[in-house]
Amino acid sequence: MAAVPEPPAAPSEAPAPSPASGPTASPAPSPVPVPTPSPSPSPSPTLKVEPAESPAESQRPGSAAQAPAQPPAQAPAQPPAGTDLPDKQTLLAVLQFLKKNHFREAEEILRKEANLQDSLDESRAAGQRGSDSVHQPDVSSVLSAYSNEGDPSLYEEYYTGLKGFIETALDAFKAELSTLLYPVFVHLYLELVYNQHEREARHFFHKYHGDQEGYYHDDLRVLAGLSKKEHMQGNETVLDFRTSKFVLRISRDSYQCLKRHLQERHNNQIWNIVQEHLFIDVFDGMPRSKQQIEVTSGGMAGEAKREANKTKVFFGLLKEPEIELPLDDEDEEGENEEGKPKKKKPKKDSLGAKSKKQDPNAPPQNRIPLPELKDSDKVDKIMIMKEATKRVKLGPDCLPSICFYTFLNAYQGLTAVDFTDDSSLIAGGFADSTVRVWSVTPKKLRSVKGATDLSLIDKESEDVLERIMDEKTACEFKMLLGHGGPVYGTSFSPDRNYLLSSSEDGTVRLWSLQTFTCLVGYKGHNYPVWDTQFSPYGYYFISGGHDRVARLWVTDHYQPLRIFSGHLSDVTCTRFHPNSNYVVTGSADRTIRLWDVLNGNCVRILTGHKGPIHSLVFSPNGRYLASGATDGRILLWDIGHGLLVGELKGHTDTVYALKFSRDGEILASGSMDHTVKMWDTVKAFEDLETDDFSTATGHINLPDNSQELLLGSYMTKSTPVIGLHFTRRNLLLAAGAYNPL
Amino acid sequence: MAEEKKLKISNTLLPTESMKVIAESTGISQLSEETCQSLTEEVSYRIKELAQDALKYMHHGKRKKLTTVDIDCALKLKNVEPLYGFQAQEFIPFRYASGGGRELHFYEEKEVDLSDIINTPLPRVPLDVCLKAHWLSIEGVQPAIPENPPPAPKEQQKVESTEPLKVIKPGQEEEGQAKGKGQGSAATDGKGKDKKKSLLDGAILKLKPRTTHELSVEQQLYYKEITEACVGSCEAKRAEALQSIATDPGLYQMLPRFSTFISEGVRVNVVQNNLALLIYLMRMVKALMDNPTLYLEKYLHELIPAVVTCIVSRQLCLRPDVDNHWALRDFAARLMAQICKNFSTTTNNIQSRITKTFTKSWLDDKTPWTTRYGCIAGLAELGHDVIKTLIIQRLQIEGERIRTVLDGPVVSNIDKIGADHVQSLLLKHCAPVVAKIRSIPDNQECYKTDYGYLGPMLCTHVVKARAQAAMQAQQVNRTTLTITQPRPTLTISQSPQTSRAPSIIKVPSSITLPMQTLVTARPSTPTQPSSPATKFIMMSSPSGSSTTQQPRPTLTISQNPQSSQPSTSPSIFKVPSSITLPMQTLLTRPSTPTQSSPSPTNYIVMSSSSGSSSTQQVITLRTAPCGTGSTSPVTTTVASVQPIVKLVSTSQTAPSSTVTGSTQKYIVVSLPSASESKVQPSNNSLQQHSPK
């Protein structure tokens, strides 16, 4: 099975690059000061973008109109998936669409061109079948692939036949082949439901759902509720299964074995499913063992194709601009070997010795336009460097102290926490739609004076910045009001002038921390926005939400620059790469995707989590990624190779917070189970450098060494940990709301 | 993963009858079976969809509990109008009804008068969110401060103490200590491993582990400071020290020292008749009991003799005619009652053994008045039932004895004072009980015939008690609960008055009561996530669910326990929990501003950790009258003396002989001469019933 060079996962995603490529052309040359990567509300991106979201949007009750009707019909047309059957069906679907919209001529012409006269009967049959769901022709056409009906009573036989074959297969193949069971089970079931054999479907489901792996249970639970054809319309999970192929990675030997079996038995039903709904990524070499399969499985649509992770990723850090340091700091700086020649590197990297001058893995400095440094930024950078010299060197023998900020009287309402990089401010997002900002240093929060007062100030004076502040407003915390629903994400800008918040009301808001007012409300998601984050260089930010897409924005445009579409379920968390050229998104479909900001492509798909992902963090050197999910496990990834490199087990509940220490030696994790744990990442990444074999094949053998890597576990008093931050001197700050239940 | 695999997904549907009922309630009467069928399928599917969406909101809200808001949000996601309405503050149970062959579960929807809602005073403004910082860890070690969980949770201390047989391998202890970076965590780890190993090859070598109680330098200093302050002369310092004992979470390692300190201290000071020191020591016991993080069971063998000594010792002070040693006896008696309540179980039988001890020396004619007073006080504190069954029976005899002293020829002044105190003690404790068991006309003559010499005086006291109860009932309807409630209220409201320790035990005066109900539903202290609040809420929710139908649970219990489902333990469990609810309502208030008064903590201990043990008491005392079949409380009084005595005797035979041995020891202790009170041999008697 030739892996077609198509955009990674879903056919529905196919249009995604196109809107992205629209704006791409322009941003590169434009200089930064007014970086306008042309997100002018030109109709083309917006229109083309729509289809990508359609799975989510078509089920919105209000939008059953024509516009969204189109894309899903086209969707099956996109994958050039060889066989005649789907081709014909897409054509039929298009015809149906044309017919419905009274494009008579177009229909005629298409009919002629496609030579479809002979299949008129079929189309009529399909039409009839579709007639009971006339209201939503789009869905029915998407689903129409299920119409090839077999004898319902035989389905169980098919399944048991396959199961029997797998059980009797050679041990070497057994593990690989058994991954086939789940998708086949799902599709057989959906076919039964679609063809309205409710009782058989229910029986089939109950007999065999116990065979499936535990991590599929969330999806199975959704499917279990489906017992009628009508339910399939508008069910997201069903659409996911329909519109995307389930990816399996199987060795050539196993695949031959399977093929032979299916052909011998003339088991067309299963063969059809394998052909239409599965993508079997065949590789040469030894079949994988059960453990090897287990670590990477769990995604809603199977594993990632190997092709999907082949693109080169520039994970290195950008060169820091040269800043003249005040002389008196030279000495201190000299002690620090890495900071010596270049006065740079706020994130000094002791992990790999390679990051010396110019990281070979770093992207070109101007790969994406970045805002120019302001004077205040330079002052800040100098501060960072000064602080860095006083940083505690952490290690298994020197664990950081943890200062815990407890939110009292929050009544379970704390939903998001963020710290500024210099640890001077804490922002909390609350379920009562408020955002609150605390100053945790003696410096109080002040807002700028009113316009009339400002006009009186002498603008030439030295301390003008001090003078514009209104002393009367000084207090320890400020409340920001404006959202219309729980605030699920907050993020400070690197210069501490702005704060972003994302909310259930579908907006992302930008707040000024000078005036403590809302500056912009970025609309676009329409559904709850689960997370948002500023780029480490400011200006850009990313948001992701229930509409299954992540959007890249810049603060001065009210429309997104990029829409990253491809996840099969909610985008639950979004993070920027330290070099700002990539963003990573975690989703409820249990996959993590890495996207290239430059062209909007998905460059990594990481599978292995068994539950929705709720926390992500890059290591300071940009090479590794840690992710935490509802299953309580933390996974470590090598971004360069797109490989799973470690698994940290120990938490018993969702991991909501992850953070690397400033030098990357320690990973701190905070969880719903009221603990903060610290992990030795130096050890975890130790042996990785040389392993070429797994790089080539994607075969992963994870050592089960969580206990050795665990450096400490600190229990709070009934306070779930939802925010973590390392200060510049490597003191760990943690935050959570005391929950007196 | 294996467990998850077994997880069954069931495709449950709502019953079709529900559809019919709902249709009827909206005015559609005739609904065909077919319609119902397809309706249920559709509705069930949609509900499941909603629930799954609502779960997303819960996860993103970083909660573990699904709330109605989540469901509203999920509805909004589906473009369905959310449900409007007032939020119910309390749990609304499903009601059940049947009739016409149909069974129905429904919510009782009361019509709410809008004007009522408008006119109700606004609830108090909730406390604003605030931020508080503390050290969760300092260079890898978790400091033992109240903001952090106790280094060794009670369960772990219990496991340690009740798991007598462990295999000690050489070097293991050292390993545990070397690991001691995260003091708490490493210790737990080490313990966990020990346990596993002992399970594996525990059969080979059975040894009581030689636990070294080595204290760190800081702990030694702390111990020294605390003990000095507790028995020193500076009252402010003492208050601070006691406060520290009552709240600090990291004391479990020092507990054996404290326990020995107290028991030795009592032994020495009883001989020297040093009343003040005895009082200080008892206050230490109280503070230890108040600390919710300590597992005291292991040290009761030292503490109980000390406490009992302070109750019944013949002489506690140098000048018995002047010094108020009675207060110490009262205080110690209350402590004893609390110990019984908290720690008495069917295996150690503390309560029955103590009862027996007291009764025995009380019945003895030669017992001096001081000891007599202690015995009665000790018994009286154990609750109304004990008073009813043991003390009131003997009122006549005791009255006679008092009369001979008071009215007869003056033998000694001390005897007279003693008799006087015993008399007022009897009157004080018996009056409320008599008020309950006797019906209204309080006739002096009748009392005289029933209770002898003390009758007339009792009569006036009863009348007073009745009047007081009636007055308080009028004031606040909820107060009645706490007033009629025998044991807890007495303990709280009186302890400060008599113990002469006003500085530390803050008076939770019932005047503050009316404002409480609103405050209690949330953490009591704004400044500190202290555990009392935690415990309280845990308790209140089960009791809320089980007793919502009973507006006045306490009244039902105290008057007619048999009526509310007699012997089954769950129903009885309701009883203590519902009792504790009102008192906590009363008590959480004082902790709000200061957070330092130990009394709330105290009650939390009682309500949460000792919930089961207090249940035991209720069972032992109450099921017995049920068995005899007499329903009138007045007539049972005679019959029910026996059951308790019986219970005691059976309990003596059941456990091994060491138990009886140790009861003997207690009696020895109760004798005034402290020289022979060696209680150490009974060291393990309380723990030998542990599994294995």
From chain B, the residues in CB contact with A62 under 8 A are: 79
pLDDT of residue A146: 60
Q: Find the CB nearest A438 among B4, B64, B131.
A: B131
pLDDT of residue A144: 57
CA–CA separation, B259 vs B304, rounded Å? 10
The answer to whether A654 contacts B133, with C-beta atoms less than 8 Å apart, is: no
pLDDT of residue B210: 55
Q: Find the CB nearest A209 among B9, B135, B138.
A: B9
Kind and range of the H or E run holding A562:
strand A562-565
pLDDT of residue B316: 78
Residue A522's SS3 state is strand
**C-alpha distance from A587 to closest chain B C-alpha (Å):** 12
pLDDT: is B565 or A642 the higher one? A642
The answer to whether B527 contacts A408, with C-beta atoms less than 8 Å apart, is: yes
Interface check for B676 against chain A (CB to CB < 8 A): the answer is no
Q: Is the pLDDT of residue A421 over 50?
A: yes
Q: Is the pLDDT of residue A121 over 70?
A: no
The answer to whether A717 contacts B529, with C-beta atoms less than 8 Å apart, is: yes
CA–CA separation, A489 vs A512, rounded Å? 16
pLDDT band at A46 (very low <50, low <70, confident <90, very high): very low
CA–CA separation, B30 vs A478, rounded Å? 59
The answer to whether A409 contacts B526, with C-beta atoms less than 8 Å apart, is: yes
Q: Is the pLDDT of residue A332 over 60?
A: no
* Pairing mode, strands A487-492 and A498-503: antiparallel
Interface check for B692 against chain A (CB to CB < 8 A): the answer is no
The answer to whether A214 contacts B523, with C-beta atoms less than 8 Å apart, is: no
C-alpha Rg value of chain A to the nearest Å: 27
Interface probe for B, chosen from A185, A202, A398, A409 (most Cβ of B below 10 Å), is: A409
pLDDT: is B100 or A657 the higher one? A657
Interface probe for B, chosen from A226, A392, A406 (most Cβ of B below 10 Å), is: A406
pLDDT: is B638 or A330 the higher one? A330
Q: Is the pLDDT of residue A735 over 80?
A: yes
**E-only strand ranges, A588-673:** 591-596, 602-607, 613-618, 624-629, 634-638, 643-648, 655-660, 666-671
Chain B residues 3-42 within an 8 A CB cutoff of chain A: 3-11, 41-42
> What mean pLDDT do residues A518-529 have?
92
The answer to whether A409 contacts B523, with C-beta atoms less than 8 Å apart, is: yes
CA–CA separation, B210 vs A336, rounded Å? 50
The answer to whether A217 contacts B182, with C-beta atoms less than 8 Å apart, is: no
**C-alpha distance from B254 to closest chain A C-alpha (Å):** 22
Ranges of chain B whose pLDDT falls below 70? 1-10, 85-90, 152-213, 410-411, 473-692
Q: What pLDDT digit, counting tens, does each position of A66-117 carry?
A: 333 344 334 343 444 444 555 666 777 777 777 767 777 777 777 776 665 5
* Pairing mode, strands A425-430 and A246-251: unpaired
pLDDT of residue A24: 37
Using alpha carbons, select from B525, B522, B536 the residue that is nearest to residue B607: B536
* pLDDT-above-90 percentage for chain A: 27
pLDDT of residue A354: 39
pLDDT of residue A699: 66
**C-alpha distance from A509 to closest chain B C-alpha (Å):** 18
From chain A, the residues in CB contact with B526 under 8 A are: 408-409
* Pairing mode, strands A602-607 and A591-596: antiparallel
Q: Find the CB nearest B136 among A227, A402, A414.
A: A402
CA–CA separation, B53 vs B46, rounded Å? 11
The answer to whether A409 contacts B128, with C-beta atoms less than 8 Å apart, is: yes
Query: Is the separation of the CB atoms in A658 and A615 below 8 Å?
Result: yes
A686-720 b/e with 16+ CB inside 10 Å = b?
A: eebeeeeebeebbbbebeeebeebbbbbbbbbbbb
CA–CA separation, B293 vs B568, rounded Å? 31
Residue A458, amino acid: D
Copy the structure tokens of residue A285: 């070499």
CA–CA separation, A77 vs B203, rounded Å? 71
Q: Is the pLDDT of residue A372 over 60?
A: yes
Residue with tokens 């001081």: B370
**Alpha carbon A237 to chain centroid distance?**
17
The answer to whether A741 contacts B185, with C-beta atoms less than 8 Å apart, is: no
pLDDT: is A351 or B343 the higher one? B343
Chain B residues 453-492 within an 8 A CB cutoff of chain A: none
* Pairing mode, strands A278-283 and A246-251: parallel
In A353-422, where does DSSP find H-type helix? 375-389
Residue with tokens 């910045």: A465
> What mean pLDDT do residues A177-193 have?
85
CA–CA separation, B506 vs B509, rounded Å? 9
Residue with tokens 């005629």: A108
Q: Is the pLDDT of residue A689 over 70?
A: no
pLDDT of residue A88: 66
The answer to whether A408 contacts B533, with C-beta atoms less than 8 Å apart, is: no
pLDDT of residue B267: 87
Q: What is the DSSP string of A98-111?
A: HHHTT-HHHHHHHH
Residue B424, amino acid: S
pLDDT of residue B600: 35
Copy the structure tokens of residue A360: 């070979």
Using alpha carbons, select from B350, B432, B451 the residue that is nearest to residue B387: B432
pLDDT band at A582 (very low <50, low <70, confident <90, very high): very high
Q: Is the pLDDT of residue A476 over 70?
A: yes
From chain A, the residues in CB contact with B73 under 8 A are: 485-486, 504, 528
Interface check for B124 against chain A (CB to CB < 8 A): the answer is no
CA–CA separation, A710 vs B189, rounded Å? 12
Residue A343, amino acid: K
